[in-house]
Chains A and B, each alone.
Chain A
Amino acid sequence: MTASSRVRYPVGVPHLPTAGILPPHILWAIVANGDAEQRAWALQALAVSERIRGRRELLGDIATAAAAAAPGKQRTVYDAKHGSQLPGAKARGEGDPPGKDVAVNEAYDGAGATYDLYHEVFGRDSIDDRGMPLLSTVHYRRGYDNAFWDGSQMVYGDGDGKIFGRFTKAVDVIGHELTHGVTQYEANLDYADQPGALNESVSDVFGSLVKPRTLGQTAGRADWLIGAGLFTPAIRGVALRSMAAPGTAYDDPLIGSDPQPADMAHYVETADDNGGVHINSGIPNRAFYLAAVAIGGFAWEKAGRVWYVTLRDRLRPTSDFKAAANLTIAVARELFGARGAAAKAVAAAWAEVGVL
């Protein structure tokens, strides 16, 4: 079974026997840890509970209460042992003590800190809001300069050792990848051009909240860097991206300079990188930073909540920057008052970056 098909619900499953009473998080654990037969059974049960959920939504609060009661933090970290087969060999499960492998421990702790952000601040139970297990694989391939979400799990490389060290080193990378999963289950933003840059930006936005939350930092004190510490000392740069000052994160003879624009006047048209999704994300990233700093306090409390509700309930696959701007302003008004400081700060931020 391929990695991308592993946790997808099978479609067109014929009439199934009663799925039983196992909650989704246990079924997901069986998907992750069971043998082929157990896995197939658990996936069938999940498909059934998916259909039941469709009906439960009509019943309203009972279903919500039942879903909220499911304890969700279920982390498993795997070791690809420098191969490309996913997920690899199980290295650490939920509740297991730390081992000797730093990357395994970082992937575990980072997934936990990100889960906690979503759960404690936004009331979300994991990636799918139904306790989906958080699967991570470290030591993917050799010298692999990347981290990604494959549609069902997070994957981290060790870096080539010349430009990059291991990608689990910065917790915002973990928050970024996990958020790609959240986006897939919510707005499901396209992965090209402006919707793609928004997809990238919301991953940076929620990734950027994880570290300051663990440190108790206000918006004014956070570094607003994505991937600080990933570069080796040989590279001239502080991080991969700066949300406060896009375009300033690095400038190095080997890898060039940070290509991110800070406003719409410098929007980059390119065919590479799916239409510059990691480049133009600098614009909505800076809008979030400006809003969060203007509002003050902890960034996740107001700006973060506005962006979360927008991602969950308002954005659509084809939403562009202007749509995101108008939707976040509308959500800020609903949550914090039509004439409130939050809505004004959000509107001013989008104006500052030239989207409105």
Chain B
Amino acid sequence: MRVKLERSGGFANVRRSVTVDAAALAPDRAVELRDLLAAAGLDTLPEDPPPRPGHPDRFVYRLTLEDEAGARSVSVSEDTASEPLRHLIDWLQGTAES
């Protein structure tokens, strides 16, 4: 399973992207990722976020999950991301930097 995180928007609109392949992770990290994904509730998110009047310059995140079932893509604005989803985003970004 692969998870791709793409960030757009923000004042700077400098695009950042990270792809994490669960198969390439240490076993404990792969478990972490699975737990974070399970908690994040991605299947409740739309493919494109509805416009958010009054919340300019926030990051927009697109998460794409690829596995045997195919590829699914959802998008969320930074200010509406739930706490568990926020943890997943931070974890993916942290994995990219380490």
Binding site for B on A (CB under 8 A): 4, 145-151, 163-164, 167, 173, 176-177, 180, 184, 188, 190-192, 196, 199-200, 203, 227, 230, 240, 255-256, 259, 271-274, 277-279, 317
Contacts of B27 in A (CB 8 A): none
A-B contact pairs, 28 of them (CB 8 A): A4-B54, A148-B11, A148-B55, A148-B58, A150-B79, A151-B55, A164-B12, A173-B11, A176-B11, A177-B57, A180-B56, A188-B53, A191-B52, A191-B53, A191-B55, A192-B51, A203-B56, A227-B11, A240-B11, A255-B16, A272-B8, A272-B15, A272-B60, A273-B9, A273-B13, A273-B60, A274-B9, A278-B9
Contact indicator per residue, chain B 41-62, by CB within 8 Å of chain A (1) or not (0) = 0000000110111111111101
Asked whether B10 is an interface residue with its Cβ less than 8 Å from the other chain, the reply is: yes
Whether A191 touches B11, Cβ cut-off 8 Å, given contacts A177-B57, A272-B60, is no
Asked whether B14 is an interface residue with its Cβ less than 8 Å from the other chain, the reply is: yes
CA distance A167 to B14 in the complex (A): 14
Number of interface residues of B (CB under 8 A): 25
Nearest chain A CB to B90's CB is how many angstroms away?
Answer: 9
CA distance A256 to B13 in the complex (A): 11
Q: Are A145 and B56 in contact (CB under 8 A)?
A: no
Q: Are A191 and B10 in contact (CB under 8 A)?
A: no
Nearest chain A CB to B86's CB is how many angstroms away?
Answer: 9
Q: Which residue of B lies closest to A183 (CB)?
A: B56
CA distance A119 to B79 in the complex (A): 31
Instruction: From B16, B56, B62, give the contact of A191 (CB < 8 A).
Output: B56
Instruction: From A146, A190, A192, A230, give the contact of B57 (CB < 8 A).
Output: A146
Q: Which residue of A lies closest to B51 (CB)?
A: A192
Q: Which residue of A lies closest to B73 (CB)?
A: A271
Whether A272 touches B9, Cβ cut-off 8 Å, given contacts A150-B79, A163-B14, A256-B15, is yes
CA distance A180 to B54 in the complex (A): 8
CA distance A271 to B46 in the complex (A): 13
Q: Are B53 and A190 in contact (CB under 8 A)?
A: yes
Q: Are B57 and A148 in contact (CB under 8 A)?
A: yes
Contacts of A200 in B (CB 8 A): 56
Contacts of B75 in A (CB 8 A): 271
CA distance A188 to B75 in the complex (A): 24
Interface residues of B in 1-50 (CB under 8 A from A): 6, 8-16, 48-49
Q: Are A240 and B12 in contact (CB under 8 A)?
A: yes
Q: Are B58 and A145 in contact (CB under 8 A)?
A: no
Give the 8 A-B residue pairs with the shortest CB-CB distance, closest first. A278-B13, A272-B8, A148-B57, A192-B51, A146-B10, A273-B8, A273-B9, A151-B54
CA distance A190 to B54 in the complex (A): 8
Contacts of B62 in A (CB 8 A): 272
